[in-house]
Amino acid sequence: MSGNAILVVNAGSSSLKFALFRLDTAGVLNLAARGQIDGIGSQPQFKVKDDAGRALVERELEVTDVREVKDAIALAGLWLSTHFPGEALLAIGHRVVHGGADYAQPVLVDDAVFAALEKLAPLAPLHQPHNLAAIRALRETRPELPQVACFDTAFHRTHPQLADVYALPWEYYAAGVRRYGFHGLSYEYIASVLPQVAPAIAQGRVIVAHLGSGASLCALRAGRSVDSTMGFSPLDGIPMGTRPGALDPGVLLYLVGQRGMTAAALEKLLYKQSGLLGLSGVSNDMRLLQESTEPRAQLAVDYFVHYVAKEIGALAAVLGGLDALVFTAGIGENAPAIRARIVAACAWLGITLDSNANQRGDICISTTASAASAWVVPTNEELMIARHALTQVQGA
């Protein structure tokens, strides 16, 4: 094994996020730089920050420079090799949204694995093809480097079958129509750090609220996922920035049968036009909605809080009680007013908020007398991917 760095890649439909981690002499991975290229194929922008969050580059690009994902990868690779010439890569870790029922762990990508992941594209049509496009491009340009696929679904493969099956004819379950759960890399990271940051709750009944533009909740028992709010797709569960969350299937039948909506139009509605954006008509950004005086913006915020609290109650029932609630991701880590409202709605579970600690963004935001505790723990999916990639190449 040669090299001293891991590159993490997260490719989307119009963006490429990447992070470079150095391996120190003690075998610890440390962030060197984190960047992204947005607006691929339209109005590309290139941004990179160092480990302290200082901007290293921030510029607009010509659309002809970055027409597709492989162009973005080439640009990022050139920049990294120029600015970090001494870093030799051990491997590249990729976020892959869907691992299906078969992949419960990260895996080194070979031809057979890649073909299997391609077959899962219909289960995540807006994510999987772009995740795989990055792997394909790097396998072509850097065939000597191990590529490691890390799945958003894998952490949830510990669910009991009861939590994964839908009440449909069994043939559909056998064909892959089941509750997979997502945001697994985030939940796995939180579960991995709880023994250090909150050892008293690490082996208990914990609900983690990953609240961001994409949002979901996960029930942990002794650090293992036993249920989650997302199901067959990342559309299910609580409302999100542009996705509706749980929706009566009869609404979809109506939209198709009575409104004549095509599959493509339905996909656009559910993934890009609903959620906080659809309700408010203002924005999908919680910060802007909280500042807005528009009644529908306030409705969207109220709706978000209501359904997060409702699903916390449902997962507490699954766990048979609650020892702790953990907030993470963009809204969870940075919106004390939203945290306060959610905790207030969950007072019946025995959580009492420490308002000052919450406003400061302390790790523990509940009072010492609180029967169930509340926490704010920043997530780090990129580091989780880097760790997995390192483990795979060290074990190869």
pLDDT tens column, 222-279: 999 999 999 999 999 999 999 999 999 999 999 999 999 999 999 999 999 999 999 9
Distance CA 339, CA 332 (A): 7
pLDDT band at 84 (very low <50, low <70, confident <90, very high): confident
Q: What is the pLDDT of residue 386?
A: 97
- For residue 184, give the 3-state DSSP assignment: helix
Beta-carbon neighbour count of residue 388 at 10 Å?
A: 25
C-beta separation of 49 from 76 below 8 A: no
Least confident of 53-67, 94-108, 158-172, 196-210: 53-67
Q: Which residues pair with 281 in a beta bridge?
A: none
Supply the DSSP symbol for 353: B
Q: Which residues pair with 209 in a beta bridge?
A: 217, 327
pTM above 0.85, yes or no: yes
The Cα angle at residue 285 between residues 21 and 355, in degrees rounded to 5: 85
Is the pLDDT at 169 greater than 60? The verdict is: yes
Is the pLDDT at 132 greater than 90? The verdict is: yes
Q: What is the CA radius of gyration of the chain?
A: 21
DSSP per position, 57-103: EEEE--TTT-SSHHHHHHHHHHHHHHH-TTPPEEEEEEEES--TTT-
C-beta separation of 159 from 226 below 8 A: yes
Q: What is the pLDDT of residue 1?
A: 52
- Residue found under tokens 């659309």: 63
C-beta separation of 260 from 269 below 8 A: no
Would you name the residues annotated as active-site residues? 152
Q: Which residues pair with 225 in a beta bridge?
A: 220
Q: What percent of the chain has pLDDT over 70?
A: 99
Domains in the chain, please, with CATH? 5-151 (3.30.420.40), 200-381 (3.30.420.40)
Distance CA 248, CA 216 (A): 18
Q: What residues contact 237, with CB distance under 8 A and at least 6 apart?
A: 215, 216, 217, 228, 229, 230, 231, 245, 246, 311
C-beta separation of 349 from 366 below 8 A: no
Range ranked top by mean pLDDT from 4-18, 43-57, 69-83, 342-356: 342-356
Our measurement of the distance from residue 341's CA atom to the centroid of its chain's CA atoms, rounded to an integer in Å, reads 23
Q: What is the pLDDT of residue 15?
A: 86
Q: Which residues pair with 148 in a beta bridge?
A: 93, 108
Tell me what percent of the chain is helix, strand and coil, each rounded to the nearest 5: 40, 20, 35
Q: What percent of the chain has pLDDT over 90?
A: 82
Question: How confident is the prediction for the chain on average, in pLDDT?
Answer: 94
Helix H or strand E segment including 275? helix 275-280
Task: Read off the amino acid at residue 51.
Answer: D
Supply the DSSP symbol for 10: E
Strand segments (E) across the chain: 5-11, 16-23, 29-38, 45-50, 55-60, 89-96, 107-108, 147-151, 205-211, 215-221, 224-228, 324-328, 373-376
List C-alpha distances in Å: 95 to 99, 112, 142: 10, 18, 18
C-beta separation of 338 from 325 below 8 A: no
Distance CA 250, CA 236 (A): 15
**Shortest CA distance to 179 belongs to which of 270, 268, 100?**
100
- For residue 38, give the 3-state DSSP assignment: strand
The Cα angle at residue 235 between residues 202 and 300, in degrees rounded to 5: 90
C-beta separation of 327 from 353 below 8 A: no
Q: Which residues pair with 93 in a beta bridge?
A: 8, 148
The DSSP bridge pattern shows strands 205-211 and 147-151 to be unpaired
Q: Which residue blocks in 320-378 are alpha helix, DSSP H?
A: 329-334, 336-345, 355-360
Is the pLDDT at 395 greater than 80? The verdict is: no
